[in-house]
C-alpha cells in the first residue's frame, strides 16, 4: 500500500508561500470553459516542450502517469501541447478549463502565478515565469502536486455545474431526508436503497453504472480514520449492494495496491482511499474512491463511497463523476 498525506488547505497555503502568487481575477461575467474531462493545455514556445526535452519528459511523467486505482492503464490527464503563438492568436484556447503556460525569459522572477476563473468558468490557469529551462524544471517539480490538486478542484466544479443544469431535486431531497446532508446529483440518479444511517444512489446507463454510498456512525475516536478501519467500513457498505449472483457480494480488492491520503471535504479534514472493488463469487469489478470525515459537530463519522462499473469502456472519467459528487457534500448547519 502506498501512502500519501496531503491536505487541500495546506496545498493552497504552500502554493502561496513558496514562490507562487495568486493574481486577482478580472471583474465581470465569465463564459463557460471548454475542454474534455481531465484535459490539460500546455502552452510554450521556443521548443521548450518539444519531444525529448527535459521539460517534456518531466511534464509527461507527472501528468501522463497512470491514474491511481484503475484496473486498466489510463493516463491521469490528457495533455495537449500548443505553441505560444497559436495560443496568443486564438481566443478559443483562452477558454480552456486547465491551462499551464511556460514562459522562459532571463528577466523572469522564477515564480508561479495561478488564476481562478481568469477568462472562463470554471477554470484554473498557471503561469510558470522562469529565467531558464533549468529553473522551469525545478519550478514544475516543486509545484506539481499543488498544480494537480487545483486542476482536480476545477474538474469537480465543472461536473457539479453540469449536474446543476439537470439537477435531480427528488433524489437530492431523498438523500437529505435520509442522511441530513446535501449532495449535487443529476436527474439521472435514483435512490436505490435506504437503511438506517445508510443510503445508495445509482445511475444506470447502457454501458456503465455509477454508484454513491453514504453511511454515518457515531464518532468515538481518531482510530476510525485508520486505513484498516476505513476499509472495513467501505467493505461493509459495499456488501449491502446486491451482486449479480445470489451467493456473491462486492467489496474492496486487497490483492491490488490502494492509495490512502489525507485531504479535506466540505471544509472538514478527511481521509481518501482509492482502489479497486470486486465481486466475490462472480466476475465483476471496477474502481472506487471513498471519503471519511467527521461531521461539523464531531458527533458522527461520515463515509462516502463512489464506484463505477464499466466493463467495456475506460473508467477514469466516470470515476471523476462520482468523486465530484462526493466533493459536492455540504451540511445545512455548517
- Contacts of range 58-61, beta carbons closer than 8 Å, 24 or more positions apart: 58/137, 58/140, 58/141, 59/140
Write out the E strands in the chain: 2-3, 20-22, 31-32, 39-44, 78-83, 98-104, 111-116, 120-121, 124-130, 190-195, 198-204, 209-218, 249-252, 259-265, 268-280, 285-294, 300-309
- Residue limits of CATH 3.40.1000.10 in the chain: 167-327
Per residue in 21-60, pLDDT (tens digit) is: 444 444 457 899 999 999 999 999 989 999 999 999 999 9
Listed in order, the ranges of the chain carrying CATH 3.40.50 are 8-164
Contact 333, 176 (CB under 8 A): no
User: In the structure grid, which three cell numbers stand for residue 282, read together?
Assistant: 462472480
What does each C-alpha distance from 280 to 193, 238, 246 come to in angstroms? 21, 11, 11
The DSSP bridge pattern shows strands 124-130 and 111-116 to be antiparallel
Show Cβ contacts of residue 208 under 8 Å, excluding neighbours closer than 6 positions: 308, 309, 310, 313, 318
Q: Which residues of the chain have pLDDT under 50?
A: 1-27
Task: Tell me which fold the domain 167-327 belongs to.
Answer: Protein Transport Mog1p; Chain A (3.40.1000)
Q: Which neighbouring-strand residues pair with 250? A: 279
What span, in angstroms and rounded, lies between the C-alpha atoms of 275 and 260?
A: 9
Joined together, the cell numbers standing for residue 307 give 464506484
Of 204, 285, 272, nearest to 3 by C-alpha is 272
pTM of the model: 0.88
The per-residue pLDDT for 107 is 97
Q: Provide the pairing of β-strand 198-204 with 124-130.
A: unpaired
DSSP-derived secondary structure letter, 123: -
CATH fold of 8-164 reads Rossmann fold (3.40.50)
| pLDDT of the residue at 69 | 87
Amino acid at each position: 500500500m502506498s501512502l500519501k498525506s496531503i491536505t487541500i488547505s495546506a496545498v493552497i497555503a504552500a502554493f502561496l508561500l513558496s514562490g507562487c502568487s495568486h493574481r486577482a481575477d478580472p471583474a465581470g461575467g465569465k463564459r463557460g470553459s471548454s475542454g474534455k474531462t481531465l484535459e490539460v493545455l500546455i502552452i510554450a514556445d521556443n521548443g521548450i516542450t518539444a519531444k525529448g526535452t527535459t521539460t517534456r519528459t518531466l511534464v509527461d511523467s507527472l501528468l501522463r502517469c497512470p491514474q491511481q486505482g484503475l484496473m486498466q492503464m489510463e493516463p491521469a490527464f490528457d495533455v495537449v501541447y500548443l505553441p505560444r503563438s497559436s495560443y496568443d492568436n486564438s481566443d478559443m484556447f483562452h477558454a480552456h478549463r486547465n491551462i499551464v503556460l511556460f514562459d522562459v525569459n532571463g528577466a523572469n522572477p522564477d515564480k508561479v502565478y495561478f488564476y481562478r476563473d481568469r477568462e472562463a468558468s470554471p477554470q484554473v490557469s498557471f503561469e510558470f515565469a522562469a529565467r531558464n529551462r533549468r529553473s522551469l524544471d525545478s519550478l514544475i517539480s516543486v509545484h506539481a502536486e499543488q498544480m494537480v490538486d487545483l486542476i482536480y478542484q476545477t474538474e469537480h466544479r465543472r461536473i457539479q455545474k453540469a449536474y446543476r443544469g439537470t439537477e435531480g431535486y427528488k433524489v437530492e431531497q431523498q438523500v437529505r431526508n435520509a442522511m441530513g446532508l446535501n449532495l449535487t446529483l443529476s436527474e439521472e440518479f435514483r435512490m436505490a436503497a435506504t437503511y438506517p444511517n445508510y443510503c445508495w444512489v445509482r445511475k444506470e446507463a447502457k454501458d456503465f453504472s455509477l454508484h454513491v454510498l453514504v453511511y454515518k456512525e457515531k464518532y468515538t475516536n481518531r482510530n476510525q480514520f485508520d486505513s484498516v478501519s476505513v476499509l472495513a467500513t467501505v467493505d461493509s457498505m459495499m456488501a449491502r449492494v446486491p451482486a449479480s449472483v445470489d451467493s456473491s457480494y462486492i467489496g474492496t480488492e486487497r490483492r491490488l495496491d490502494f492509495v490512502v491520503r489525507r485531504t479535506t471535504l466540505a471544509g472538514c479534514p478527511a481521509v481518501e482511499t482509492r482502489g479497486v472493488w470486486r465481486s466475490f463469487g462472480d466476475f465483476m469489478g471496477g474502481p472506487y474512491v471513498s471519503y471519511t470525515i467527521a461531521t461539523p459537530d464531531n458527533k458522527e463519522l461520515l463515509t462516502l463511497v463512489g464506484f463505477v462499473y464499466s466493463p467495456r469502456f475506460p473508467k477514469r472519467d466516470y470515476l471523476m463523476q462520482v468523486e465530484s459528487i462526493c466533493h459536492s457534500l455540504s451540511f445545512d448547519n455548517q
